[in-house]
Amino acid sequence: MEHYFTNNEQLKSELRDITYTLDDTNFTFISDNGVFSKNKIDYGSKFLVETMLKQINKTHISILDMGCGYGFIGIVLAKKLDSLVTLADVNKRALHLAKENSKVNKVEAHIVESNIYDKISDTFDIIVTNPPIRAGKKVVEGMLLGASSYLKDDGELWCVIRKDQGAKSMVKVLEDNYKTNIVAKSKGFYAIKAEKK
């Protein structure tokens, strides 16, 4: 079975544009077959970004979007916070789109093909992820718990998880490792912030 995180170069390309407006800023995202939420911005990703932007008032920070897909979360945050973003994923097609989307939306981005953190060497003010639940617990926990090694001392990990996809048990795992807050809930999605203890 094909998943949105498997690389399938044979999969027919059918590019499409997705638009998104936040306050006075218009974004365009090029999407394609074979990537997560290819036809519309995922509700959870949108909810996470909009929640974060209500809470974060710093600019010129470093952001890592882990499992970036076509780059929605990282690109919107980098644009609105006037910051530099690293966009990381295992899906080559998603990374190609993320690169194009950073140019289209005039955001400075480093694009990194990385299985979780294996090609990440910097530390960041913010690591953000809408984790690939379907990739399994090992990958999801690898992204969430692994983040602490790539966060600055006062850095923040942000993630969105659906209640019916194990948000409550993931909050428990996060609480064992971080100072954890469920910042907002909407339509069964939890927007979670975790800071180093």
Ligand X SMILES: C[S@@+](CC[C@H](N)C(=O)[O-])C[C@H]1O[C@@H](n2cnc3c(N)ncnc32)[C@H](O)[C@@H]1O
Q: Which residue is nearest to ligand X (CB)?
A: 67
> Does 130 interact with ligand X (rule: CB under 6 A)?
yes
Could you tell me which stretch among 16-24, 99-107, 111-119, 170-178 binds ligand X (CB under 6 A)? 111-119
Structure tokens at 86: 């690293």
* 178-186 and 124-129 beta bridge pairing: unpaired
Q: Looking at residues 45 to 104 of the shown chain, list those that interact with ligand X (rule: CB under 6 A).
A: 45, 67-69, 72-73, 89-91, 94
Binding mask 163-192 for ligand X (x = CB under 6 A): ------------------------------
- Residue 32 or 89 having the CB closest to ligand X: 89
Residue 135 makes contact with ligand X by CB under 6 A: yes
CB closer to ligand X out of 90 and 107: 90
Q: For the chain, state the CA radius of gyration.
A: 15
Burial 127-153, CB ≥16 within 10 A → b, else e: bbbbbbeebeeebbbbbbbbbbebbee
Q: For helices 72-80 and 43-55, what crossing angle results, to 10°?
A: 20
- Asked whether position 34 contacts ligand X by CB under 6 A, the answer is no
Indicate which single residue of 116, 127, 144, 192 sits in contact with ligand X (rule: CB under 6 A). Answer: 116
Q: How far apart are CA 153 and CA 109, in angstroms?
A: 23
CB-nearer residue toward ligand X: 69 or 155: 69
Does 155 engage in binding with ligand X (CB under 6 A)?
no
Count the Cβ atoms, other than its own, within 10 Å of residue 57: 7
Q: Which of 36, 124, 150, 189 binds ligand X (CB under 6 A)?
A: 36
Least Cβ distance, residue 169 to ligand X (angstroms): 18
User: Which residues contact ligand X (rule: CB under 6 A)?
Assistant: 4-5, 36-37, 42, 45, 67-69, 72-73, 89-91, 94, 114-116, 130, 132, 135, 139
